[in-house]
Amino acid sequence: MSFLPNVRILLSLLALTCIPLLAAVSENSDKVLSLAGEWRFQLDAEDAGVAAKWHARKLNDTVQLPGTTDTNQKGTKTDYRPTDRLARVWSWIGPAWYQREVTIPESWQGKRITLFFERTKNTRVWVDDIFVGRENSLSVPHVFDVTQAMKPGTHTITVLIDNAKLPPVGPAHAVDERTQTNWNGIVGTMELRATDPVWIDDVQVYPSVSNKNARVRVSLGNITGNPAKGKLTVSSKSYNVATPADFQTQTVEVAAPERENVLEFTYTPGGEVPLWDEFQPALIKLDLKLETTAGTHAFADQCSQRFGMREFIRDGNRLLINGKLVYLRGRLDCANYPLTGYAPMTVGEWRKIFKISKDWGLPPLLSRRLMNSVSTSKPSFLTNEAHSTPPMTKTQRFTTSTSSHWKPSRRMSLSTTTAHARAA
């Protein structure tokens, strides 16, 4: 068997599990409105809702979101009992409508407002009588710009989700009944977000161990209609280490004449920056503060990005992290989660899964859920601790002897449930 394909898989894996090159995390909690809770709901078996303008009427049922038609026991209750897998108790494939009111505060006047659904299926969205857009991705969050439709005051959000409309993916793990099923609903973070009309849209960090710096790529948005100029102040600090340290501050001039703008620069922390590896998972928190003017108005935004200073390369048939030989023994997570029918979306659940893998000496985790979540917005279940893998003991290392096999120090405990799945 060729080693190179496995290397490519592991390189992709390390990009996911070692350093989160995901979007910046906003720290302005007053600019976020959670949409979790009770929503009005209605199934649309005849697919008549769009033509009949269901977005303009009050739906006749209720569900709890985040959640799915399965977790809310909506759809058709089945007694299907296949012999090769678990089966859904409640099944629904087709259009389903979700609706609720939300009040936009006066403090959001003049802000850019987006509607964020971390994970869902084919969606169409209305705000009051205004159609604001559609999305169909199974891999990234659905984000809708609702700035023009949502001024301060009370509005009705209506979402049509149709899990019968799928990209041509075949029996993929994202929609297959043998894994997490083709559920209908919204899971993970769901909220409204407000920023100034000149904002930090995305931050990506590419560390260089040899140069002791990092290339930073910042995407800036500007919907003012005027060119924006200003500065970006960048600082950083280490954590998840014995002795945290602050590093130097750097200022970068900013020009954002277009709606979408990209700024790239090299950030040099200075001092002794701790390196990330499986034994010492040191992390760096990069703080960014944007100050701009467009026309006669001043705007500001800030966010943080977290990364590990590390270099992961292939040297012949060996894998190296920061120049040191590393052995990887991992597992493939194909999204088999019978309690809900979909992969976990909370920090606590993923910490439990990662801990089980670590306890069994399987620190790399190639998850179909993770692969389906890499996006320009940080998934809610990801934290820096989740990316930190503790040391493996000698008994958990690979062995080159074909007659020896790694054995766990304890038996795996398996539990069964009928909460949302029925065994044959």
Residue 282 to residue 212: CA distance in whole angstroms: 15
DSSP sequence for 33-95: EE--EEEEEEE-TTS-TTTTTGGGS--SEEEEESEETTTTT-SEE-----SSS-EESEE--SE
If pLDDT is split at 50, 70 and 90, which confidence band does 28 have?
A: low
**What tens digit of pLDDT does each residue of 379-403 get?**
433 433 434 433 332 222 222 222 2
133 pLDDT more than 50: yes
Superfamily holding 26-195: Galactose-binding domain-like (2.60.120.260)
Look at 83 and 388; give whichever has higher pLDDT: 83
Q: Tell me, what's the pLDDT at 177?
A: 83
Q: Where are the extended beta strands (E) located within 163-267?
A: 185-195, 198-208, 213-222, 228-239, 250-256, 260-267
Q: Where are the domains of the chain?
A: 3-20+317-422, 26-195, 197-307
Q: How far is CA 173 from CA 13, 38, 57, 177, 242, in A?
A: 17, 29, 36, 8, 40
Question: What pLDDT, on the 0 to 100 scale, is given for residue 366?
Answer: 63
Does residue 66 surpass a pLDDT of 80? yes
| Residues forming a β-bridge with 49 | none
Q: What is the pLDDT of residues 206-215, one digit of tens each?
A: 999 999 999 9
What's the average model confidence in pLDDT over 419-424? 35
The answer to whether 110 and 300 have CB atoms below 8 angstroms apart is: no
Residue 406 has pLDDT above 60, yes or no: no
3-state secondary structure of 192: strand
Residue 276 DSSP label: B
| Residue 85: per-residue pLDDT | 82
Residue 367's pLDDT is 61
Residue written as token pair 């009040």: 103
The predicted pLDDT at position 115 comes to 98
Which residues face 306 on adjacent strands? 285
Higher pLDDT pick, 382 / 177: 177
CB 381 within 8 A of CB 350: yes
Lowest mean pLDDT among 9-18, 133-142, 358-367: 9-18
Between 94 and 83, the more confident residue is 94
| Structure-token pair, residue 413 | 């405990």
- Which pLDDT score, from 0 to 100, does residue 373 have? 38
* Nearest to 126, CA basis, from 161, 80, 95: 161
Q: Which CATH superfamily is domain 197-307 in?
A: Immunoglobulins (2.60.40.10)
Q: Tens digit of pLDDT for each residue in 35-62?
A: 999 999 999 999 999 999 999 999 999 9
- Could you read off the pLDDT of 221-264 as tens digits, one per residue? 999 999 999 999 999 999 999 999 999 999 999 999 999 999 99
d(CA 74, CA 221): 40
Q: What percent of the chain has pLDDT over 70?
A: 79
Determine the pLDDT at residue 357: 85
Q: Is the pTM of this model over 0.75?
A: yes
pLDDT confidence of residue 173: 77
- Report in angstroms the alpha-carbon separations of 188 from 25, 65, 92, 102, 310: 16, 9, 20, 19, 30
Mean pLDDT of the chain: 82
Q: Is 395 helix (H, G, I), strand (E, B) or coil?
A: helix
Within 13 Å and on the Cβ side, how many CA atoms surround 292?
28
